[in-house]
Amino acid sequence: MGQAIILAFRFLTVMPIPYREVTPSPQQLGKAVTFFPLVGVILGGILAGAAYVLSTVFPPPVAAAFVLALWIGITGALHLDGLLDACDGLWGGTSPEERLRIMRDERVGAFAFAGGIVVMLSQYAALLVLLQNSPAVWGPPLLIAPVLGRQAMAWAMVMFPYARPTGLGQEMQAHVSPREVGITTLLTGGLAGGVGNASGFFSVILALGLTWGSGRWLRHRVGGFTGDLYGALCLLVEVITLLTFTARAP
């Protein structure tokens, strides 16, 4: 269990966690998925703490920019990179094979540029609106959004196939436990509802709906999920969660 937790943090963050370099087994990779929401809890706590400090020093627009920069930086821009690759591949190709090939291309195209701007502007706008209020308003979404984003990746691995025949994501998806993901779903739902009340529960429903809807569309588009598409899903769920809570802000 300890190794699985460490793997989860090393996959999803750039936190300097000591780790003896060994090749994880496929079973350990699948087990690590169970702890993806735990990574979200730690990230959410870091973001909320940073927002509290920054909001006491800077006006909301500046504090929001720094929180967004920290959010991207602490994850190594992993999910943002996945979103950019997904935008280029899903909209730039004409067949599943071509779309998958484009997603492997490191170059940034027009679709990636446009999609990245829209999503980052939406995330910044939501943070700006929230940080204009008290910590009681922006604390819950900053905690819940990273948890739901990573829970959504676990849902996607259980609900839909992997689009490529090999790869790290494929090994994770093939060995993840639906039972354990079901347990983390209950814990995530309890956390979201307990901290975020009605908006928290609604965020869980939206995250599930986005995972299911995108999975059905991606199955037709490229045959399922890939590592890039898991990252894109995580980021989109995070942004939608933040936007959900802005409806409560005065």
Query: For 94, phi and psi rounded to 5 degrees?
Result: -115, -5
pLDDT of residue 248: 65
Q: Which residues pair with 162 in a beta bridge?
A: 225
Contact 87, 112 (CB under 8 A): yes
pLDDT of residue 63: 97
pLDDT of residue 27: 86
pLDDT of residue 167: 77
pLDDT of residue 46: 96
Helix and strand numbers, DSSP H then E, in the chain: 11, 0
Dihedral angle sign, alpha carbons of residues 99, 104, 109, 114: positive
Q: Report, as ranges of residue numbers, the positions in the chain whose pLDDT lies below 70.
A: 1, 20-22, 248-250
Name the nearest CA neighbour of 143 among 52, 43, 71.
43
Q: What is the pLDDT of residues 91-129, one digit of tens each?
A: 988 899 999 999 988 888 899 999 999 999 999 999 999
Q: Rounded to whole angstroms, how far apart are CA atoms 59 and 99? A: 43
pLDDT of residue 21: 67
| Helix pair 2-12, 26-34: axis angle to 10 deg | 80
Q: Rounded to whole angstroms, how far apart are CA atoms 116 and 3? A: 33
pLDDT of residue 39: 96
